[in-house]
Amino acid sequence: PGGRVDCSQVACVALTFDDGPNSSTTLQVVNALNSQNIPATFFMLGSMAQSNPSVVATIAANPRFEIGNHSVNHPNLTTLSSAQVSSQITSATATLTRLSGRRITLFRPPYGSHNATVDAACRTSGQAVILWSVDTLDWQNRNAATTTAKAVAGAKAGSIILMHDIHPSTAAAVPGLINQLRAKGFVLVTVSELLGAPVAGRTYTQRG
Ligand code: ZN
């Protein structure tokens, strides 16, 4: 359904939103995206999804949105045992699958922190390890104009842009940020559209 984008031919960029969903700013982000029919990928925490099942359902109901795994409760996975790492990944997968009806094929490690244990657990769970190439530092600056400027200045063909849908400043940034990226000729896509068919257990920071 809809026009499939060929990211080998056009300048694609993927917006990604981590650490939600919540029932306020996440819905603001969703509304901003929907009003311009823009796809995005949400890397959800199992704990947040569990607390906000209707928001997960709202996102899952839109085929333009992709849902990825961001662990149960955001530990630094490299400090955990292999059993604990597996539990963080499989438990969040179970929650997200149950609440969204989607197959979960992408994992973003909290803090981008991963090692061979994390990668092996992702491979077993059928999930690619998705990092980013543009960090808006939205969690730190908490400023819509700064977040927008970092996203737009950093974006290149194939970029994965990191943001967090739990901050009001980020939600406020989304409409303008979309306009500026499109004005520069970028086509916004999901992470899976950007990467083609990402391989489970392999790490990606951008396309190519
Ligand atoms: Zn996070």
How does pLDDT run across 118-149, given as a tens digit for each residue? Answer: 999 999 999 999 999 999 999 999 999 999 99
Which residues lie below 8 Å from residue 4, measured CB to CB, with a gap of 6+?
A: 193
List phi, psi (to 5°) of 80: -105, 160
Say yes or no to pLDDT of 1 above 70.
no
* pTM for this predicted structure: 0.97
Query: Mean pLDDT over residues 93-106, rounded?
Result: 98
- Distance from residue 161's CA to the centre of ligand 1 (Å): 13
The rounded Å distance from CA 163 to ligand 1 centre is 9
| Distance from the alpha carbon of residue 2 to the mean position of ligand 1, in angstroms | 30
Q: Which residues are catalytic?
A: 18, 164
DSSP-assigned letter for residue 206? B
* CA-based end-to-end distance of the chain: 26
> What number is the average pLDDT over the span 66-78?
98
- With a pLDDT cut of 90, the percent of the chain lying above it is 98
pLDDT tens digits for 7-28?
A: 999 999 999 999 999 999 999 9
* CB burial of residue 13 (10 Å; 0-12, 13-18, 19+): buried
